[in-house]
Structure 1
Amino acid sequence: MSTPVFWRDPALPHVELRKVEDGRSVCYAPHTHTEWSMGAITRGESTFVHGDRQCRVDAGCLVFINPNWVHVCNPIEGRSWAYLMLYVDTQWLVDLRCRLGLTQTPKWQDLTPDAMRSPELFDGFIALTDALLDRSLSVGEKNERLLAFLSTLLPRLAASEAPRGASERLCALADYMDTHCAAEVSLDVLSRQADISPGHLIRSFKRHFGMTPHAYVINRRIQRGQRALRQGQSIADAALDSGFSDQPHFQRMFKRLLAATPKQYRLGSVDEQKHTAAGKQGGESAVDGA
């Protein structure tokens, strides 16, 4: 398996890119992202599970993953496959959709479909990812190409007419877990807050959020660890900040959910920062505009 490449630039905090050239041994556990993300299968095929739907995707397919939707994409029987994944900050994308006149509300709306085949959009996405990885381009040029691509793509994606819903009690519980994920959150405490039995809580929570309360907390901790690593924290500090009692546990869970080690993820940021100064020339003015 090739080492995954992560691209980030501190001057473009609303976007991140992952590139995998050989994913035969890549294996994700079900997980979520706080960002909206899209991917392209550039070689081979894999299984794609998004919410309640499962399908096979192969070279030329684009996939789209809504924020906080449980998903997984894994190789088929060890067959070769390669892919690109772009992660876009949800609120930034909400604001862009408003500026494009695609929505009147500054709130996230899930988008459909979750997979499509469009040679035009596929080629455009590949061109965008090539541009983001091109160290000769300025920050402004990269952001302009991102905006141009999304301005073409987003009108092709429809807002979901039936957004997923959970009871007010479960949503409040999820908010509590989001805030306190770095602390020890016991099932007994959660069940008392929700005023239901532990067994009922596990079943209800998984039905609405796609994972058990424990898996939900671990997922949030890993997301918190990602943010810490992006901000330049050491792996040890990121582990502690995320609520893991020791670094090896953090590393195991990080790799299980993200199919990469914390070191591989952190190096993407460090490597790009070395080239940020060259990329900023004449580019800052375009970063926030549409």
Structure 2
Amino acid sequence: MKEQTSVYHLEAFGGLDLLQARYYKQNFSRHAHETFCIGVIEEGAQRFYRTGGDHVAPKGDIILVNADDVHTGSSGMDSGWSYRAIYPHPNLLCSLSRDFSKPEGSIPWFPDAVIHDPGLATQLLMVFNLLTQEGNGLLKETLLLSSLAWLTMRHGKTKTIGNDFQRAETNMVMLKDFMDSYPERDVSLMQLADMAKLSPWHFLRQFKKTVGITPHAYLVQARLRKSKKLLLQGISISNVATLCGFSDQSHFHRHFKNAMGFTPGEYAHSARKS
């Protein structure tokens, strides 16, 4: 009943992370990625929340999490679950859509968190397996991009939002950009509310409604995103914890494992493997 994870960081495809994992007790905290998550359940079932509701993905189904979607993850069965997943940047998916409709392309939005598409699931697993192997660069690129194009055309949509939400989102984007730029700062609620020109209480409510998590939870995610970049540069885990604003290394380790499903050390090792 030992949990196992293998994480790979590929410099190709704009810096692509790939995860192969077997979990029993792992319980992902509410978090979000700046990337998409596209995975296939190989054994068992995964239960997870994705902005909008709770879902269960059984063996053979594809899980889809949009970039910046708040989500969780845990086992849907006593026997746990295993899956493989990739985390492509929105820019990669946008580049694929240039020939679909708009010349400049557009970032897709996947309305369904779980899809049953056996043919595509089989192809994705084949691609995930190939990506972890040496060589065959042209074949990897061909299969990955064709699979993502198929996924986008069959299951992707263009997200539309109302004017009121758009105005609120524009306001919150400015605050998110600030925390992304300076995640190590111990910023206060009052400072953020002042920047948004809102009362602290109104700011808290609007931020959570728009982003899906509290400002503090978002700041932790911003710190984790910065930590991944520093780990890939070969900076030690203890220094990364300090540079990203965590109180100590154990605090950093706990947040990283709860959100990513693997440890900072495992992610740093993935950089050496690639």
TM-score, normalised by the number of residues in structure 1? 0.85
Deviation of residue 193 (structure 1)?
1.8
1:14 and 2:15 matched: yes
Deviation of residue 102 (structure 1)?
4.3
Deviation of residue 107 (structure 1)?
4.6
* Kept in 2: contact 1:42–1:84 (CA 8 A): yes
Residues 148 and 261 of structure 1: is their aligned pair in 2 closer, same or farther, counting only changes over 3 Å? same
The one-letter amino acid of 2:154's match is: R
* Kept in 1: contact 2:45–2:59 (CA 8 A): yes
Higher relative contact order at CA 8 Å, sep ≥6: structure 1 or structure 2?
1
1:114 and 2:113 matched: yes
Kindly provide the CA deviation profile for residues 179-227 of structure 1, in whole angstroms up to 9, marking residues without a partner as x.
Answer: 2222111111112222322222222211111100000000111011112
Kindly provide the CA deviation profile for residues 58-90 of structure 1, in whole angstroms up to 9, marking residues without a partner as x.
Answer: 101101111111011211364321111111121
Deviation of residue 111 (structure 1)?
2.9
Aligned to 1:154: 152
Distance 1:166 1:54 in 2: 28
* Kept in 2: contact 1:51–1:71 (CA 8 A): yes
Q: 2:56 is paired with a residue of what secondary structure? A: strand
Task: Count matched residues.
Answer: 269
Q: 2:95 is paired with a residue of what secondary structure? A: helix
Q: Give identity over the alignment, percent.
A: 25
Kindly provide the CA deviation profile for residues 100-143 of structure 1, in whole angstroms up to 9, marking residues without a partner as x.
Answer: 324444453423333210110010011111111223x3333322
Aligned to 1:143: 141
The one-letter amino acid of 2:61's match is: C
The one-letter amino acid of 1:174's match is: K
Residues 181 and 131 of structure 1: is their aligned pair in 2 closer, same or farther, counting only changes over 3 Å? same
Distance 1:37 1:97 in 2: 18
1:117-196 alignment, distance < 5 Å: 117-135=116-134, 137-163=135-161, 165=166, 167=168, 168-196=170-198
Distance 1:42 1:75 in 2: 13
The one-letter amino acid of 2:71's match is: H
Which sections of structure 2, spanning at least 5 residues, go unmatched?
none
Q: 2:141 is paired with a residue of what secondary structure? A: helix
1:213-232 alignment, distance < 5 Å: 213-232=215-234
* Kept in 2: contact 1:25–1:78 (CA 8 A): no
The one-letter amino acid of 1:6's match is: V
* Kept in 1: contact 2:231–2:240 (CA 8 A): yes
* Kept in 1: contact 2:4–2:23 (CA 8 A): no
TM-score, normalised by the number of residues in structure 2? 0.90
Deviation of residue 17 (structure 1)?
0.7
Q: Return 48-57 or 140-149, whichever deviates more.
A: 140-149
Distance 2:129 2:77 in 1: 29
Q: 1:112 is paired with a residue of what secondary structure? A: coil
Which sections of structure 1, spanning at least 5 residues, go unmatched?
274-290
